[in-house]
Amino acid sequence: MVLDAMLVQNGFYEELPDHPMVRLLNTPNPFMSGDDLWGSVVIDRWLAGNAFILKARSDLRNVGELWRLRPDRVKVIADSTKFISGYEYKVGQETFTFPREDVMHFKTRNPMDPYYGLPLLMPILDAIAIDGSMKAYIRSFFDKGGTGPGAILTTKGKISEDDKTEIRNRMRRLLSGPQGYHETLILDSTESTYTQLGPGRGLTDALPKEVAAMIAAEISMCLGIPASILGQLIGLESSSYANKRADWQVLWDVNLTPLMGSIQNTINMSMLNPEAPDFRGIDEVQFDLSSIRALQEDEDALQERARKNFTVGIWSFEEGRLATGMDPNPAEGMFALPAGVTLTSIDQLSGEDATGGDVQTLALNGAQIASLLEVVTAVTLGQLAPETAKAMIRVSFPSVSEADINTMVDAAAGFSPETPVVNQPDVTEEPAEAIAAHFRAEFAQIEAPKVGRPKLLADPGARATYDKALALRAKHPAWSWLEVADSLGISERQLRRYRGQFE
């Protein structure tokens, strides 16, 4: 079990493996690893309904170590105003009192008690008691050499009570314990008969399969673990590899993933409390479940879906890379795009580029850029009239704005190549690549007019919305940014943009 801390940045998570809080969660104290501690939390929560972790502090009140507290020794100190004011921990005759902020309390739901969780096996204690009684009977069955709970000895003549007691004692001496296995009791009377009591078929009746299956099913139900994974007979009898793999997926989807979410939420609420956080510079911690095989989608299906969603425009380039385990914002590299795909940012779809300018959809593909370059180059060489070129661009490239068309064509019309005109007989023709290079250098210096919606930093409506988001986050520290965005009636992507601008 590995804990990774992640900092929300530009809508994505940044891993912080060296953050002090992450190091503490992975190495809680000198005698326990992170696996030991969080495994104990899971076991205590299942069997006792409660798990407690003590945050051991230094003299400066910094959290330096984490220690498990035995749940049977912890008592919640209820308070009428604070709900919980602290915790008592009793060891022998000593009692230690810890303030509420020094103890992390992980508990199950309990409709009858607001302070303590309900052990998961509590509803089936009667069934567990029956199982214990059956096992105790089987133990005595073998201890007595398979003789069962008792027998009846019938004689023709009348026997005194003293004789009956002597016969019972002799049978106990001979048939009790390993030394009495398979011994034969010989009586003097020829008219005596011996009848064994109890199950006639031995263990078949001593441990009814139906009762054992019922108890096993109830245990599996309460723990939320499929019977095949617990190793119970009712699960093993019908378990194939495919069924067991499906059971593992059910276990993680229905049980363990929500359990990990509950544990990490308690950690975040306790250590990252907005009023008095134990650590700063971190938004939240999450369990790293990326290595859990049962949660991994078939790799081929994942890759195929990512390619299709990107090609048809449902996913962005960044979302496609993120879904396939790649860095969503690569710093460098060459990328091959499917034919017919035009890359358009979400801001360009709304008429606003990263700098706040109105650029419509200028992200043309390679073939479109080459065609546009030919038209502008023809204007530069005097082979095409500027107005004709503008009309051609309007028809061929409707996504390009009128302002950009005028800027490109007018600049090309006023541009004079340093080399003579190519048709003069006394001048060597300059290669088309060199002409294009001159044009690109000149065109790169042209700055498009900045029109359209204002930048986010200058947009009072955006700033007011983000201030409301911060107020909701402070009022409800357990809310995720998605829940905050839903409450404001905006998308989570838009809220991420506000965070990137205003933080």
pLDDT in tens, the chain (503 residues): 334 444 444 445 667 778 899 899 999 999 999 999 999 999 999 899 999 999 999 888 899 999 999 999 999 999 988 899 999 999 999 999 999 999 999 999 999 999 999 998 888 888 778 878 877 777 776 676 655 556 666 777 777 888 778 877 877 776 655 544 445 555 555 566 666 555 554 555 555 667 777 777 777 777 777 777 776 665 555 656 567 777 777 888 888 888 888 999 999 999 998 888 898 878 888 888 777 777 766 667 778 888 888 888 888 887 888 777 777 777 677 777 776 666 665 555 444 444 444 444 445 656 677 777 888 888 888 888 888 888 888 877 777 888 888 888 888 887 766 554 444 444 444 555 555 565 555 555 544 444 444 555 566 777 788 888 888 888 887 777 777 877 787 877 777 777 777 77
Q: What is the predicted pLDDT for the residue at 207?
A: 59
Statement to judge: residues 101 and 141 lie in one domain = no
Q: What is the predicted pLDDT for the residue at 145?
A: 61
Q: Dihedral of the CA atoms 353, 323, 469, 258 (nearest 10)?
A: 180
Q: Has residue 308 been placed in a domain?
A: no
Q: Which of residues 264, 289, 314 is at a domain's end?
A: 289
State phi, psi for 458 to the nearest 5 degrees.
Answer: -100, 10
Statement to judge: residues 92 and 22 lie in one domain = yes
Statement to judge: residues 357 and 273 lie in one domain = no
Q: Has residue 415 been placed in a domain?
A: yes
Sheet containing 3-9, strands listed edge to edge, beginning at the edge strand earlier in sequence: 12-15, 3-9, 284-287
Distance CA 410, CA 272 (A): 58
Name the token pair of 354: 């990263």
Q: Which of residues 244, 269, 289 is at a domain's end?
A: 289
Q: Has residue 296 been placed in a domain?
A: no
pLDDT digits (tens, 9 = 90+) for 319-360: 888 777 777 777 677 777 776 666 665 555 444 444 444 444
Q: Has residue 313 been placed in a domain?
A: no
Statement to judge: residues 284 and 368 lie in one domain = no
Residue 32: domain span: 1-119+254-289
Statement to judge: residues 128 and 100 lie in one domain = no
Helices (H), 276-380: 299-312, 317-323, 346-349, 366-380
∠ CA(5), CA(8), CA(9), 5° rounding?
130
Q: What is the predicted pLDDT for the residue at 11?
A: 46
The tally of domains found in the chain comes to: 4
Name the token pair of 148: 């069962």
Statement to judge: residues 464 and 440 lie in one domain = no
Name the token pair of 472: 């909701």
Statement to judge: residues 278 and 132 lie in one domain = no
Q: Has residue 200 been placed in a domain?
A: yes
Yes or no: say if 48 and 106 are a contact pair by the CB < 8 Å rule.
Answer: no
Distance CA 409, CA 376 (A): 6
Statement to judge: residues 423 and 465 lie in one domain = no
**Which sign does the torsion angle of CA 276, 277, 280, 284 carry?**
negative
pTM to 2 decimals?
0.51
In this structure, what DSSP letter does residue 314 have?
S
Q: Has residue 48 been placed in a domain?
A: yes
Q: Has residue 233 been placed in a domain?
A: no
Helices (H), 176-223: 203-206, 209-223
**Which sign does the torsion angle of CA 397, 399, 400, 402 carry?**
positive
Distance CA 224, CA 248 (A): 11
Statement to judge: residues 113 and 137 lie in one domain = no
Q: What is the predicted pLDDT for the residue at 498?
A: 77
Which string of DSSP letters, residue by residue, matches 365-415? -HHHHHHHHHHHHHHHTTSS-HHHHHHHHHHH-TTS-HHHHHHHHHHHHT-
Yes or no: say if 474 and 481 are a contact pair by the CB < 8 Å rule.
Answer: no
Dmax over Cα atoms in the chain, in whole Å?
149
Statement to judge: residues 32 and 101 lie in one domain = yes
Q: What is the predicted pLDDT for the residue at 459?
A: 67
Statement to judge: residues 132 and 115 lie in one domain = no
Q: Has residue 298 been placed in a domain?
A: no
Statement to judge: residues 438 and 468 lie in one domain = no
